[in-house]
C-alpha cells in the first residue's frame, strides 16, 4: 500500500526575526529535552527496552522518595497524588504499548514513549469524565520524569545538535537563544512569546528567521518534519508540498535581492533630503554581533545589552574579563560610539548564578538599576570595567529602567565613587564619558524635564515603555494585539521626552524595537529624535526612509498623526505617507 503523504499545515504567529529558512525540525519538549527521532536497528531493540525499564525503575524510586518526604512533612493526604503517579508508571497497558510500538517502528525509545503519552493525553482530554480528565496532569508529570531519566537532564539542551535544524519549542529563554550562534540552528518557532521578548530580539541579532506565539506548533510538529519559517510575515509551513517550497525559495531569493540592494546605501550619509544628519546606530547583545553592525553601515552602537555576558555561566564575569570585552568593542567600533547599558537583569532575563528569587511580576520587580543599586559590588565591578575600557575608544554609560531622579542620583553617586577609586589607583579613564538614562518607565518620561538636568543623554526604551504605559506584558502572545507602538499615549510620552531633552540641551535617542519599525520612522523623525538604534539588519531600510524625506515633511506628518485618536488610525496614516514618499517600500497598507 502506498504511504499517505503528510499533510501540509500552515500556522500564523508573530513575526520575531525576518527572513525565510527551511529545514528539518528538532522538537524540544516543554521542559526542553531534545526528543530525537532516531532510527534504531533490530539488534538495538533489546537495549532500548532495557533503557526504558531502567528509567521506569528510577522514576518509581524518585516518586516513592518524594511520597515519603511529603507524607512526613505535610501528612499522608498530601502524598496521595504520588500514588496516582505510581499507577501511571505501573500501568502495564502503557508499558506494553510502548514496547510493541518500539518493535514495530524501530525508533528511539524516548520518541516512542513521548508519542504514546501524547496519544493517552489526547484520549483522556476528549473524555467527558472529569476524574479522568484530571489524570492528564499525572500522566504529564510522570512522563516528564521518565523522559528526564531516559535522556538525562542537560544544562544546554541545544549543545548536542549536530545537523542544521529548525528548533521548535514551547518557549526559549533569552539565554538559550544566546548560545545559538555557535550551533547549527537555522531558525526557530515557539508556542509562546512576542515580538519584543528578548528571545525574539536575540534572534534578530543572530539573523536567524523566527516566528513566535504560534500557540500550537509543538503539538503539530514532530522531530524530523520539514518546516518553512517565514520570519518576515510570521508564517510557518509544516510538511510543505514541492510547490510551496518552490514559492518560498523564490521569496527567499527576492528578500536576499532587496537586502543586497539596500546594502548599497551602506556608505551613504544618514541624512534627510534637506541635510539634517540623523544618527543611525545598532543594538548588540554579544560581541559576535559586531561584524553585522559594520556590514550594515550602522554608525556605532546605541545599546549594548551587557546582561548576556552574565548568562550561561556559573560565576560572575570579573572586572578584567569585562574590561577586555568592552575595550575590544570600543576598539572595533571606533571612531563611533558604543553605548554600554549597565546590567539589566530581571524581567525575562534570569541569571542562574545569582540567587534571585522568582517573582510574581518580574517586569515590575527587582530588575535593572534597582538590582544594581542593591548590589553595588556587582554594579561597581561593571562600572570600573567600562571606565577602564573608555581609554580604547568612545564609550558611553547608560542606566536601564530609571524611574525617577533619586535613582539617577544614586547611580551617579556610585559611578563617582568608582571614578575616585580609579584615580586613587592611578588608573586612567576618559573623564568625558557621557552618562545617560534610558527612558522606559512612564514616570521617567513624564518627569524627563527634571531628569534631563542631570543626564548627558536619553535613550527611549520603547519595549518597556510601551508595556508599562499600556499595561501589556511584552512577552505575552495572548495580548500582543494590544502592544501598540502607535498608541497616542505612547507618542505623547515620546514627544514629551524629546522636547524636554532638547530644552535642556541634551540629545535623545531610541533603542527599543520601535526605532526599527519602518511604519514609525517618519513620525519619530518629525518628533525630533536624534538617534535611532536598532538591530543591524534594520538599519539600511531606515536609512533609505530618512534619505527620502525633509524635516519639514516629517514634522508635518508627526503633527498630523498626533491629531488622530487611535493607534490603528495612526499606523494606517503613517504607512500611507511612507508609501507616498518611498513608493517601492515593502509594506502592507490597509
Ligand atoms: C527597551 O526596553 O526598549 C530596551 C531597549 O531594553 P530591553 O529591551 O533590553 O528591555
Ligand atoms: Mg528595557
Domain match, 89 and 174 both: no
Separation between Cα atoms, residue 147 and residue 31, nearest integer Å: 10
Consecutive H or E run containing 559: helix 551-561
**Of the ligands numbered here, which is closest to the C-alpha atom of 494?**
1
Q: Which atom, in ligand 1's list, is nearest to the CA of 513? A: 3
What pTM value is reported for the model? 0.79
CA of 394 to the centre of ligand 2 (A): 23
Q: Is 554 a domain residue?
A: no
Q: Does the pLDDT value for residue 180 go beyond 90?
A: no
198 flagged as catalytic: yes
> What pLDDT sits at residue 162?
76
CA of 424 to the centre of ligand 1 (A): 35
Of 310, 388, 389, 382, the C-alpha closest to 346 is: 310
Give, using CA atoms, the residue closest to atom 6 of ligand 1. 461
Give, using CA atoms, the residue closest to atom 1 of ligand 1. 461
Ligand 1 pocket test: which of 178, 512, 517 has the largest number of ligand atoms within 8 Å of its C-beta?
512
CATH number at residue 480: 3.20.20.60
Ligand 1 pocket test: which of 350, 463, 493 has the largest number of ligand atoms within 8 Å of its C-beta?
463
Which of helix, strand or coil describes residue 302?
Answer: strand
Q: Does the pLDDT value for residue 154 go beyond 60?
A: no
Q: What is the dihedral of CA 245, 249, 252, 257, to 10 degrees?
A: -160
CA of 483 to the centre of ligand 2 (A): 15
Give, using CA atoms, the residue closest to atom 8 of ligand 1. 463
Q: Is 267 a domain residue?
A: no
Structural domain containing residue 75 = 42-151
CA of 275 to the centre of ligand 1 (A): 30
Domain match, 227 and 83 both: no
**Residue 257, burial from CB neighbour count under 10 angstroms (0-12, 13-18, 19+):** exposed
CATH number at residue 66: 1.10.274.10
Mean pLDDT of 147-176: 77
Domain match, 300 and 437 both: yes
Rounded to 5 degrees, φ, ψ at 584 are: -90, 20
- For residue 191, CA distances in Å to 78, 215, 240, 540, 556 come to 33, 4, 20, 31, 41
> What pLDDT sits at residue 84?
77
Q: Is 330 a domain residue?
A: yes
Q: Is 320 a domain residue?
A: yes
- What is the radius of gyration, based on Cα positions, of the chain? 27
Q: Is 76 a domain residue?
A: yes
Give, using CA atoms, the residue closest to atom 7 of ligand 1. 463
Mean pLDDT of 212-219: 91
Which of 224, 244, 264 is where one domain is finished? 244
Q: Which atom, in ligand 1's list, is nearest to the CA of 283? A: 5
> What pLDDT sits at residue 402?
98
- The set of protein residues with a Cβ atom below 6 angstroms from ligand 1 is 303, 305, 344, 440, 461-464, 511-512
Strand pairing category for 226-230 and 20-27:
antiparallel
Q: Which of 296, 337, 372, 511 is catalytic?
A: 511
Which of 151, 177, 208 is where one domain is finished? 151
Domain match, 292 and 234 both: no
Cell numbers for 212: 513566535
> What pLDDT sits at residue 306?
95
Which of 120, 151, 182 is where one domain is finished? 151
Count of CB atoms situated within 10 Å of the CB of 92: 7
Beta bridge partners of 107: 39
> What pLDDT sits at residue 173?
78
438 or 203: which leads in pLDDT = 438
**Of the ligands numbered here, which is closest to the C-alpha atom of 511?**
1
Domain match, 340 and 284 both: yes
Q: Does the pLDDT value for residue 171 go beyond 90?
A: no
Given pLDDT bands bounded at 50, 70 and 90, which one contains residue 82?
confident
Domain match, 139 and 280 both: no
Domain match, 281 and 357 both: yes
Q: Which atom, in ligand 1's list, is nearest to the CA of 514? A: 3
Annotate 558-577 with b (16+ C-beta within 10 A) or e (fewer).
beebeebeebeebbbbbbeb
Separation between Cα atoms, residue 590 and residue 586, nearest integer Å: 13
Domain match, 167 and 192 both: yes
285, 202 contact by CB (below 8 A): yes
Q: Where are the beta strands (DSSP E) in 378-514?
A: 394-399, 434-439, 457-460, 507-510
**Of the ligands numbered here, which is closest to the C-alpha atom of 349?**
1
Q: Which of 198, 296, 336, 337 is catalytic?
A: 198
What residues have CB less than 8 Å from 99, skipping those under 6 apart? Answer: 49, 52
Mean pLDDT for the chain overall: 90
Given pLDDT bands bounded at 50, 70 and 90, which one contains residue 30?
low
Given pLDDT bands bounded at 50, 70 and 90, which one contains residue 431?
very high
Mean pLDDT of 534-547: 95
> What pLDDT sits at residue 355?
64
Domain match, 312 and 329 both: yes
Cell numbers for 476: 505575552
Separation between Cα atoms, residue 452 and residue 434, nearest integer Å: 13
Q: Does the pLDDT value for residue 318 go beyond 80?
A: yes
- For residue 498, CA distances in Å to 124, 402, 469, 519 come to 57, 16, 17, 19
> What pLDDT sits at residue 75?
67
Among 180-184, 288-292, 496-500, the least confident range: 180-184
What residues have CB less than 8 Å from 412, skipping those under 6 apart? Answer: 435, 454
Counted domains in the chain: 3
**Can you say how many angstroms the Cα of residue 541 is from the centroid of all Cα atoms in its chain?**
22
Q: Is 207 a domain residue?
A: yes
Ligand 1 pocket test: which of 344, 367, 520 has the largest number of ligand atoms within 8 Å of its C-beta?
344
Q: Does the pLDDT value for residue 155 go beyond 60?
A: no
Cell numbers for 205: 541579532
Count of CB atoms situated within 10 Å of the CB of 344: 25
Given pLDDT bands bounded at 50, 70 and 90, which one contains residue 206?
confident
pLDDT tens-digit series, residues 64-78: 887 787 677 666 766
Side by side, the strands of the sheet bearing 235-238 are: 9-12, 235-238, 226-230, 20-27, 165-169, 185-190, 210-212, 14-17
CA of 511 to the centre of ligand 1 (A): 7
Consecutive H or E run containing 134: helix 130-151
What residues have CB less than 8 Å from 495, skipping those under 6 apart? Answer: 527, 562
CA of 464 to the centre of ligand 1 (A): 6
Ligand 1 pocket test: which of 305, 343, 436 has the largest number of ligand atoms within 8 Å of its C-beta?
305
Q: Is 498 a domain residue?
A: no
Count of CB atoms situated within 10 Å of the CB of 319: 15
CATH number at residue 191: 3.50.30.10
317 or 199: which leads in pLDDT = 317
Mean pLDDT of 373-392: 97
Mean pLDDT of 318-338: 97
Give, using CA atoms, the residue closest to atom 4 of ligand 1. 461
Separation between Cα atoms, residue 315 and residue 101, nearest integer Å: 45
- For residue 490, CA distances in Å to 195, 246, 402, 587 come to 17, 42, 17, 22
Among 200-204, 414-418, 499-503, 515-519, the least confident range: 200-204
Annotate 209-232 with b (16+ C-beta within 10 A) or e (fewer).
bbbbbbbebbebbbbbbbbbbbbb
Cell numbers for 213: 506565539
170-179, 193-202, 283-292, range with greatest mean pLDDT = 283-292
590 or 74: which leads in pLDDT = 590
Q: Which atom, in ligand 1's list, is nearest to the CA of 198? A: 8
- Sign of the dihedral defined by the CA atoms of residues 532, 536, 537, 541, in that order: positive
* pLDDT-above-70 percentage for the chain: 94
Of 437, 177, 164, 160, the C-alpha closest to 289 is: 177
Q: Is 445 a domain residue?
A: yes
H helical segments located in 224-289 = 242-263
Q: Which atom, in ligand 1's list, is nearest to the CA of 463? A: 3
209 or 37: which leads in pLDDT = 209
What residues have CB less than 8 Å from 573, skipping those under 6 apart? Answer: 560, 561, 564
Domain match, 227 and 202 both: yes
**Of the ligands numbered here, which is closest to the C-alpha atom of 517?**
1
511 flagged as catalytic: yes
CA of 360 to the centre of ligand 2 (A): 18
> What pLDDT sits at residue 588?
83
CA of 181 to the centre of ligand 2 (A): 23
Given pLDDT bands bounded at 50, 70 and 90, which one contains residue 3?
low
Domain match, 335 and 314 both: yes
> What pLDDT sits at residue 346?
85
Mean pLDDT of 183-209: 88
Domain match, 353 and 374 both: yes
Amino acid at each position: 500500500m502506498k504511504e499517505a503523504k503528510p499533510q501540509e499545515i500552515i500556522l500564523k504567529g508573530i513575526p520575531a526575526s525576518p527572513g525565510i529558512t527551511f529545514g528539518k525540525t528538532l522538537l524540544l519538549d516543554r521542559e526542553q529535552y531534545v526528543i530525537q527521532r532516531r532510527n534504531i536497528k533490530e539488534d538495538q531493540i533489546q537495549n532500548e527496552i532495557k533503557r526504558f525499564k531502567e528509567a521506569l525503575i528510577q522514576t518509581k524510586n524518585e516518586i516513592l522518595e518524594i511520597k515519603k518526604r511529603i507524607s512526613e512533612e505535610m501528612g499522608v493526604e498530601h502524598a496521595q497524588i504520588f500514588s496516582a503517579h505510581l499507577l501511571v508508571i505501573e500501568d502495564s497497558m502503557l508499558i506494553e504499548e510502548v514496547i510493541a510500538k518500539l518493535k514495530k517502528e524501530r525508533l528511539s525509545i524516548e520518541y516512542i514513549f513521548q508519542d504514546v503519552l501524547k496519544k493517552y493525553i489526547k484520549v483522556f482530554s476528549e473524555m467527558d469524565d472529569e476524574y479522568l480528565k484530571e489524570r492528564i496532569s499525572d500522566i504529564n508529570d510522570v512522563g516528564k520524569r521518565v523522559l528526564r531519566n531516559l535522556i538525562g537532564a542537560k544544562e544546554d539542551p541545544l549543545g548536542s545538535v549536530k545537523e542544521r535544524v529548525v528548533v521548535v519549542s514551547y518557549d526559549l529563554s533569552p539565554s538559550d537563544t544566546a548560545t545559538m550562534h555557535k550551533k547549527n540552528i537555522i531558525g526557530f518557532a515557539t508556542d509562546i512569546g512576542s515580538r519584543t521578548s528578548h528571545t525574539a530580539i536575540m534572534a534578530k541579532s543572530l539573523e536567524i528567521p523566527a516566528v513566535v506565539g504560534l500557540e500550537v506548533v509543538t503539538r503539530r510538529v514532530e522531530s524530523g518534519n520539514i518546516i518553512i519559517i517565514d520570519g518576515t510575515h510570521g508564517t510557518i509551513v509544516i510538511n510543505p508540498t514541492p510547490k510551496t517550497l518552490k514559492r518560498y525559495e523564490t521569496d527567499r531569493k527576492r528578500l536576499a535581492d532587496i537586502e543586497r540592494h539596500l546594502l548599497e546605501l551602506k556608505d551613504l550619509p544618514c541624512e534627510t533630503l534637506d541635510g539634517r544628519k540623523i544618527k543611525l546606530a545598532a543594538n548588540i547583545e554579544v560581541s559576535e554581533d559586531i561584524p553585522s553592525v559594520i556590514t550594515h553601515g550602522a554608525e556605532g552602537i546605541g545599546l549594548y545589552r551587557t546582561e548576556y555576558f552574565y548568562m550561561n555561566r556559573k560565576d560572575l564575569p570579573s572586572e578584567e574579563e569585562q574590561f577586555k570585552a568592552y575595550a575590544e568593542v570600543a576598539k572595533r567600533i571606533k571612531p563611533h560610539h558604543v553605548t554600554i547599558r549597565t546590567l539589566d537583569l530581571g524581567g525575562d532575563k534570569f541569571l542562574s548564578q545569582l540567587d534571585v528569587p522568582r517573582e510574581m511580576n518580574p517586569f515590575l520587580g527587582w530588575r535593572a538599576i534597582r538590582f544594581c543599586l542593591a548590589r553595588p559590588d556587582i554594579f561597581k565591578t561593571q562600572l570600573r570595567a567600562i571606565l577602564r575600557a573608555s581609554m580604547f575608544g568612545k564609550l558611553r554609560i547608560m542606566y536601564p529602567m530609571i524611574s525617577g531622579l533619586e535613582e539617577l542620583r544614586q547611580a551617579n553617586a556610585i559611578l563617582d565613587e568608582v571614578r575616585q577609586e580609579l584615580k586613587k589607583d592611578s588608573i586612567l579613564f576618559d573623564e568625558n564619558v557621557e552618562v545617560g538614562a534610558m527612558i522606559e518607565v512612564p514616570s521617567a518620561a513624564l518627569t524627563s524635564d527634571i531628569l534631563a538636568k542631570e543626564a548627558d543623554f536619553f535613550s527611549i526604551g520603547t519595549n518597556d515603555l510601551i508595556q508599562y504605559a499600556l499595561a501589556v506584558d511584552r512577552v505575552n502572545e495572548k495580548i500582543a494585539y494590544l502592544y501598540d507602538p502607535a498608541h497616542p499615549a505612547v507618542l505623547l510620552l515620546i514627544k514629551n521626552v524629546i522636547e524636554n531633552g532638547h530644552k535642556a540641551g541634551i540629545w535623545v535617542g531610541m533603542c527599543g524595537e520601535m526605532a526599527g519599525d519602518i511604519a514609525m520612522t517618519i513620525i519619530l523623525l518629525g518628533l525630533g529624535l536624534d538617534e535611532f538604534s536598532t538591530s543591524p539588519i534594520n538599519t539600511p531600510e531606515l536609512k533609505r526612509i530618512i534619505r527620502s524625506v525633509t524635516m519639514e515633511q516629517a514634522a508635518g506628518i508627526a503633527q498630523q498623526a498626533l491629531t488622530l485618536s487611535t493607534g490603528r488610525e495612526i499606523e494606517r496614516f503613517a504607512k500611507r505617507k511612507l508609501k507616498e514618499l518611498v513608493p517601492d517600500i515593502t509594506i502592507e497598507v490597509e
